[in-house]
Amino acid sequence: MSIDESNSDSWVAATAYRPHGDPIGAGNFTDIIGAAVFSSDSRFIGEAWRVYVAEDSKLPEWLTVRTSLFRSTEHVVPLAGATMSTDGVWVRYDKHTVKNAPRVSPEQVHLSQTQKSALNRHYGLGPAGRRP
């Protein structure tokens, strides 16, 4: 796979969006750390950095994506509906939506309820992190 890295805001994946890759679940979510993350419109967003797991179900719920040129900025994106392929992780949101999502501190281990609520509002999700 080839990615044009000449301009960090215009990175475009050379492969097509794959909505039917393997779902991300309890058995494979650690495999996504360090993987390339692509948007619903097949654009490169950044690098998968951390996974937040739901406390009750222990299933992967949120992913942080390092998006800046030096990978120092982390944005949070829902893993609901995301898939994994040989190219990387494919999320259900466009690059603009992910890059405008609330950010988290690199040292933060858990998302607070306030942060989850803000993320759910940003992505148009219900209180449980699902689309209404």
> Residue 89 in 3-state DSSP?
strand
pLDDT digits (tens, 9 = 90+) for 60-86: 899 999 887 665 678 999 998 899 888
How crowded is the C-beta side of 92, counted as CA atoms within 13 Å?
14
CA-based nearest residue to 81, from 17, 33, 31: 17
Q: Which tokens sit at 73?
A: 């900025």
pLDDT digits (tens, 9 = 90+) for 7-64: 333 333 333 444 546 777 666 677 888 999 999 989 999 999 999 888 888 888 999 9
pLDDT higher than 80, residue 5 = no
- Rounded to whole angstroms, how far apart are CA atoms 29 and 16? 22
CA-based nearest residue to 45, from 11, 87, 80: 11
How crowded is the C-beta side of 40, counted as CA atoms within 13 Å?
12
